[in-house]
Amino acid sequence: AERVETPPFDGTGRTADGQRVPLLANVGKAGDAEEGARALAEGVGLFRTEFCFLGRAEEPSVDEQIEAYRGVLAAFPGKRVVVRTLDAGSDKPLAFVPTGEEENPALGVRGLRTSWVAPGLLDRQLDAIAAAAAQQRAEVAVMAPMVATVAEAADFAERARARGIEHVGVMIETPSAALLADRLFDVIDFVSLGTNDLAQYTMAADRLLGSLAALNDPWQPAVVELIARAGSAGAAVGGSVGVCGEAASDPLLAAVLVGAGATSLSMAARAIPAVAAQLRETTLEQCRHAAEAVVAARDTAEARTAAAAILR
């Protein structure tokens, strides 16, 4: 077969019929952000702050945190950068975050839940993010990982807004958050789907187990139905619904996600050109049709076949 080169991304994500879908970068440090900026990412949809401090025994000081965050913000002057607060625990343990001994760490004290046992840690991180934002031109948003209830989102938003951070969101990584998305929008400004964890928790399949990879697949119709539910909740209030899990970097699935209501997609910089090219060839109507077909499918094989037939 003839090989067609993927054209470079021109910096404006959109569908064939002109629906804007900003394509953003996932980053873990300043170097990733610079790579994202070179790839013309339209901003950062997920800054995994825990990646800055993975090897650390002690909590980084506020000044050290400001320095780490500034490095990422500096790569995107004038652009949106979504800073995720520490997602510690389970697959990303941090020595300085007290999660305790747990039999099931993926179901334990992780992500935003660590603020229940160490609220000062979250407060100091929000202080650092607010201070870094004040020193840079990026449009900074904060986002909490592993949210399951509206009360958690409301508490997070209150802490962030008390520091003058205007754009506050939460990740949708649990089925509960997807089902409550309409009510989450009462207390926060945006949501972002973490499809890696959403697939893990929807399918009850550990994302670290290769033997369960077929279950732990974002093409699972049940996962896409939950995404579509969040998408509808966002559309009803004109709220933004990002996707920042690996699903966004699969070109066909990216089109399905747009059809399910995703308003922006965030991914590793190297994935952007192929996703951009797929969207440029696809109308919003085709995206919607593909999303409906995936939600109606019996399994991942049928979902992929149905989407490919509509999108290729």
CB 145 → ligand PEP: shortest distance, Å? 6
Kindly state the smallest distance separating residue 266's Cβ from Mg ion, in Å. Answer: 12
Closest separation in Å from C-beta 20 to ligand PEP: 22
Determine if 194 is a binding residue for Mg ion (CB under 5 A): yes
Is residue 197 close enough to count as binding Mg ion by CB under 5 A?
yes
Size of the site for ligand PEP (CB under 6 A): 10
| 245 is a contact residue toward ligand PEP (CB under 6 A) | yes
141-180 residues in contact with Mg ion (CB under 5 A) are: 173
- To ligand PEP, the closest distance from the beta carbon of 194 in angstroms equals 3
CB-based contacts of 136, cutoff 8 Å, min separation 6: 70, 73, 74, 77
Is position 196 an interface residue for ligand PEP (rule: CB under 6 A)? yes
Taking CB under 6 A as the criterion, the residue among 59, 155, 197, 217 binding ligand PEP is 197
Cβ at position 312, least distance to ligand PEP in Å: 26
Per-residue interface string for the shown chain with ligand PEP, residues 82-111, x marking contact by CB under 6 A: -----x------------------------
25: phi then psi, degrees, rounded to nearest 5? -105, 145
Q: Please give the C-alpha separations between residue 6 and each of 3, 228, 232, 280, in angstroms, as whole numbers.
A: 9, 29, 32, 12
**End-to-end Cα spacing for the chain:** 15
CB of 1 to ligand PEP, least distance (A): 33
Binding of ligand PEP at residue 194 (CB under 6 A)? yes
- Beta-bridge mates of residue 27: 47
Q: Which residue has the tokens 């009360």?
A: 151
| DSSP code per residue over 216-285 | S-TT-HHHHHHHHHHHHHHHHHT-EEEE-SGGGGSHHHHHHHHHTT-SEEEE-GGGHHHHHHHHHT--HH
Q: Is 250 in the site for ligand PEP (CB under 6 A)?
A: no
The interaxial angle of helices 251-259 and 300-311, nearest 10 deg, is 90
Distance, CA of 226 to CA of 224 (rounded, Å):
5
173 near ligand PEP, rule: CB under 6 A: yes
Compute the distance between CA of residue 254 and CA of residue 309 in angstroms, rounded to an integer.
15
Site for ligand PEP contains 217 (CB under 6 A): no
Query: Maximum CA pair distance of the chain?
Result: 58
Listed ranges 36-44, 64-72, 176-184, 194-202: which one lies at the site for Mg ion (CB under 5 A): 194-202
Where along the sequence are the contacts to ligand PEP (CB under 6 A)? 46, 48, 87, 173, 194-197, 244-245
